[in-house]
Structure 1
């Protein structure tokens, strides 16, 4: 009985792991159609008929153009996921171009559905990620950081908070590969202090252990999206 129960738990665990990332495609491709007004919702995008697919469905142009970094963060992310390139649907991969002005920041954020691998083409970046809460309550979340130069590569595990900061006096450029057709982005400050409607001030005051005036100030700021 115990052996059978243990085997069942093992199978359930393996099945859970197998479905932890984007599902594997069951056909050559599943080009997404614009389903924003569709009455049917699926976990992903609805497929275009293969007979209607054209080469342009697998094509995107413009990543050679710098993003506009004239914003308070001094950075601009140009994503190429299933929303910009319909041929990525079900393929479990996407990418992004990130431009940074001098001292520009891609602020602390997470990708809830993807691991990110970053390669620097120009400039010097200070990057890092923070681990999830440790099992030992006496330990703190661990920070891993690195200075990156042209040709350097760094990986950010799926779901963990991470950031990129241009520490140089010139513009910087990096490209990121992501292990999902639609990785998603949660920018921490925007989500916590700029949600609509706002999170109750009593919740944030207790969570951050600060005076209510600090929360009032933070919630009154304009929290921009650099994507």
Structure 2
């Protein structure tokens, strides 16, 4: 990503932001990882200014937090914060599911099959990050069919904020070999779409998110010293 005189500065800034965001979402920069500006600039082949700007943008979307003495670090959410995020997701995504099932056309249904097949391939390859990418695109296809882009954009922002938690969960399932649960929710959704049953789709969405909420609550119930840090 070499910065050249002929390349617009805004484009370089976007490239740096996207590269850093991708590293956070893939887990390459884990929670608590310190973002050293000069080191990142050298790594990405750019000056320090686009890196500073990207850290500020990443803080705006909730992936990074900064302090005067530490600079930027990849944000680590507490179980309490995750619980709040998932409670909002439950409200928004059940509504988006019902609206989307009613509006999904044949092209959208075909897209679900494509994303589901890509999810299966990612799991077979042991690639949790790519699995999550296609999982989110499958859901976004349904949600977008509801015709409310503001709702979809809001949900995507919440996905970004809890991506690290989702990535840990998917990787643990891969390590344990317990793969069926990683596809069960999507299968139920697709069956509900085929049946034109919006309420069955709502139930599938509620079950998936409620399960995640219970997993987070189980962390909250542990003694303080046994919680993941």
Alignment TM class, shorter chain as reference: under 0.3
Decide which structure has greater helix share.
Answer: 2
Between structures 1 and 2, the one with greater strand share: 1
Q: TM-score, normalised by structure 2?
A: 0.24
